[in-house]
Amino acid sequence: MIYLDNNATTRLDDRVLNTMLPYFTENYANAGSAHLAALTVSEAVANAAWQTANLIGAKEEEIIFTSGATEAINLAIKGLANQYRKHIVTIVTEHKAVLNTCEFMESIGFEVTYLQVGSDGVLDLNVLNESITDKTLIVIVMIINNETGITQNIEAISELAHAKNALFMCDATQAIGKIPVDVEKLKIDLLPLSAHKFYGPKGVGALYISAKAKLKLLPQLHGGEQQRKLRSGTLNVPGIIGLGKASEIAVNELESDQKRITKLRDKLENGLLNFEGSFVNGNTENRIYNTTNICFPGVVSETLILALQDISVSNGASCSAVTSKPSHVLKAMGLSDDDALSSIRFSLGRFTTETEIDLAIERILDLAKKLRV
């Protein structure tokens, strides 16, 4: 299998797996218990919190572990339901975890402004500034789009939000572990992340919560009041240990990963653009180094994806790798239904090889030419 769908999920790094294993079979105590075995586990969890916080320039007490980014997003947004300000500003190209949660907030009386992006996928900061009012509770904009890899000017966006006393949440699920992210420098109040997007295990993530945001948040899960009373439930210790180790590795290997993967992504993209009429969707300057989203006019992406068999790619968000509906992200960028349905996302990772890229280019070009309508 040639796996080019790393924005959907990544392979678990062997180093992460080996660090996790003892917490399944040896150090399996409940971190919330009072005996010595539990205290040993609790210390390991605290270390994982430090590792995760260190990756994003935060403090360990600002980290709440969750089941993944989706839960973190729900806690961050729904946790603000009791605030007197009832206005949310976000963009139409956000992940469905944000958009659907915002729709829920509308159903309980909030007003949500969904801002459009340009054909390059980038948000107009002037439009954003005009949309934030004295009633705006929170501005929500992701760092990196999961489908196109397009990046937004997060530092400028957070500045605009804070200038009008609004909170700023940044979905960093596709950024963490790939590029440097510093919540202090970027002045982010709430930041969800997920371990399986950067070579950690599935089923675990975290929410960074600034001191300002913590004062406003209500828990969404009630029970034993674990994790500073913001998220109850027995901790997923092996998963948390895995997230911590993945964070530690990312700190040390961000630069080397970026250099190697950038070359492979560019080689793949340049090769696939030999298909007549093909083009890259979105801004090729402001994007993450591992992602390219390419339109193959006249080729139904769903058909091509299935024909590729042992080459894994997708034509939408990671939660719907093969779908007959056009991507809401590409539609928002002005693509026609036909072009959106002819587009494929390729996302490379730490374990992608040059040999795989060479084979993928050959196979994809050959099949695309045969399948062209």
| From 102, 170, 295, 319, the catalytic residue | 319
Residue (of 7, 2, 1) closest to 345 by Cα position: 7
Task: Give CA–CA dist 192/176, Å, rounded.
Answer: 9
Does 319 qualify as catalytic in the annotation? yes
Cβ density class 5-30: b for 16+ within 10 Å, e for less: bbbbebebbeebbebbeebeeebebe
Q: Are strands 136-140 and 87-91 parallel, antiparallel or unpaired?
A: parallel
Task: Give CA–CA dist 275/291, Å, rounded.
Answer: 18
DSSP 121-133: SPPPHHHHHHH--
Backbone angles phi, psi at 188, to 5 degrees: -95, 135
User: Encoding tokens for residue 77?
Assistant: 């947004």
Task: Give CA–CA dist 80/114, Å, rounded.
Answer: 18
DSSP 62-106: GEEEESSHHHHHHHHHHTTTT-S--EEEEETTS-HHHHHHHHHHH
Task: Give catalytic residue positions.
Answer: 319
